[in-house]
Amino acid sequence: MNGVMLEEEWKEHFRMSKSTFFKLCDAVRPFLVKQCTNMRMPVSVEKQVAVTLYYLSDERRYRKVANAFGLAKCTVSVTVRRVCTVISTVLGPQYITLPKTENELEEAGV
């Protein structure tokens, strides 16, 4: 996914605008940033989020995503699970509220 991508292509691949993508990256950054080691450089937060969105928006094939981003399939697998966990546990409660009482359930029209 190197090079300059038009806004339409960006939305097709990642299902959101660039500005929304970077807001999402900023929101999950504290939970996804990794330390540099002597063995390798960590995958950036932006790349982790992009890999996950690309995986979820397409055919869900690790090999295709791994090739597109220059990563190993196992790295894609671990990354997708990590990012999805962070989004659901950290951002989920901020944006998704489920009815807790019968009245709230009725108000929601369920």
Phi, psi of 98 (to 5 degrees): -100, 145
- The answer to whether residue 110 scores a pLDDT higher than 70 is no
Whole-number Å distance between alpha carbons of 21 and 50? 8
- Rounded to an integer, the average pLDDT of 11-40 is 87
Nearest of 47, 59, 36, 58 to residue 83 by alpha carbon: 47
* pLDDT digits 0-9 by tens, 47-56: 999 999 999 9
- Rounded to an integer, the average pLDDT of 62-67 is 93
**What angle separates helix 73-86 from helix 62-69, to the nearest 10 degrees?**
100
Indicate if the alpha-carbon torsion angle 87, 6, 9, 71 is positive or negative: negative
Which ranges of the chain would DSSP assign to H, the alpha helix?
Answer: 7-14, 18-32, 45-57, 62-69, 73-86, 92-95, 102-107
Phi, psi of 48 (to 5 degrees): -60, -45
* pLDDT digits 0-9 by tens, 29-40: 999 997 677 777
Q: What is the pTM of this model?
A: 0.80
